[in-house]
A and B are shown apart, each in its own frame.
Chain A
Amino acid sequence: MTYEEFADSRLSALLRYATMLTGDPHSAEDLVQETMVRVQLNWKRVQRSDSPDGYVRRMLTNQFIELRRGSWWRRVLLRAEPDPSVPVPSDHADRSAERDRVWSMLSGLPRRQRAALVLRYYEDLPDQEIADVLGCAVGTVRSSISRALATLRTELVEAR
């Protein structure tokens, strides 16, 4: 597989995944762009791996979790756009604001926990594969997901 073929077939899925991770399309674009440049730089290694797809997902996830090291976050900070995930309060927006509360609460979670949630409830990966992506034990995946769910549950109850 060439890099071009990989990008053709996988770019949209990566963008969707990055959107769920970052919660905002601009950050998602930057994250994917940064990752794909690295993918191209290291294409031979990516190609040789058992699953190029999984390898790239791991790269992107790491980049997201360790965002202080990458430059995409600096760009996001510099851009300083209002966070679109925070609902603007208005009368007719109340219903959707209520519905989007879970979504906006996700941004308050530690990045690792958010990534675990996205991998399980959006990408539908089994816990073992989530552990592979995050580079930790299956037990750690389960505990961080249950901790994240507990946080969300508490906040939802408080908000209502």
Chain B
Amino acid sequence: MLESKGRPNRLGLWGWLGGGRWGLERYLYTLHRLTGLGLLAYFLLHIVVTSSRAISPERWKAAMDSVTGPLFTVGEFLVFVAFAFHAANGIRLVLVELGWAVGKPIEPVYPYRTSVNFQRPLAVGAMILAVIVMMLGGLDFFVLD
């Protein structure tokens, strides 16, 4: 490791969250992490709670009754919203990170048009898809059900 007597100046967590001056993809990156953590927390509990279906109808019903009520409905809807975002943005990320949606190398002529600009329509499309799924979910959760 290199020796240095300099003063540390790493941005740390602010470097992850720092928005404001940054572009759309930075917010999508942050949201992808937050929704991922939320979905994982729900999923781990979900495995435990739904395992009761293997025991008996009574245990299943008791487990389901313990997670009903308006608070749980709203909570579940938030999970659905997180799923819709994470899934739609995930489709974009697979296409981008496997190099299919970043464009070919080009001659950099000012004003530069980068891979971030190239994939922007995909990012917007993914967000429109996410909002449509969220709205369908909202309709099912709060209007039709």
Partners in one complex: no
B residues with CB within 8 A of A: none
